[in-house]
Amino acid sequence: MILIGEKDANKKYYFRETVFGIYLKNEELYLTKKGEDISLIGGGIELNETEETTLKREALEEAGLEIIAMNKICDIDCYWKTRDNRDMESLTHIYRIEISDKIIEPLEPESKLVKMSINEAKNQLKLPYHKQALIEFVKKLNK
């Protein structure tokens, strides 16, 4: 487990468990864009969902992708502040994913699939656990 930040016993944290997938093809990462925000593909684990079912659902909703294989990269426990200054704890599971050749329109109309280099993504990703996930992904690529 990778830890980002420190838990302050005097603060109340909003907790969210999430799962994200990283896909690289032809030196390009597949990411999602909502408004101006660039993100890894994935999101919150809902009641009675597994990491796998969540990531498969989120990939279809956000990027129009069908996941056919998942390999765990790491787990990250992150303490951070949101844009509106809320204290958050995000327990995040990161996977390297493989997708089918079939890509459809994302089910969420405000979301779209974008592709960019690893270096571009390092600059575009804002969430601390997304940045760390990319670092861990690159470490595994270089092994």
pLDDT in tens, 22-79: 999 999 999 999 999 999 999 999 999 999 999 999 999 999 999 999 999 999 999 9
pLDDT of residue 143: 75
pTM for this model (two decimals): 0.95
Element (H, E) at 52: helix 51-63
> What integer pLDDT is reported at residue 107 of this predicted model?
93
What pLDDT was estimated at residue 78?
98
User: What is the band of 105 on the pLDDT scale with cuts at 50, 70, 90?
Assistant: very high
Supply the DSSP string of 1-49, one letter for each residue. Answer: -EEES---TTSPPEEEEEEEEE-EETTEEEEEEETTEEE-EEEEPPTT-
* Domain regions of the chain by residue span: 2-141
Arithmetic mean of pLDDT, 106-111:
94
Domain 2-141 class in CATH: alpha beta
SS3 63: helix
pLDDT of residue 9: 95
pLDDT at 142: 83
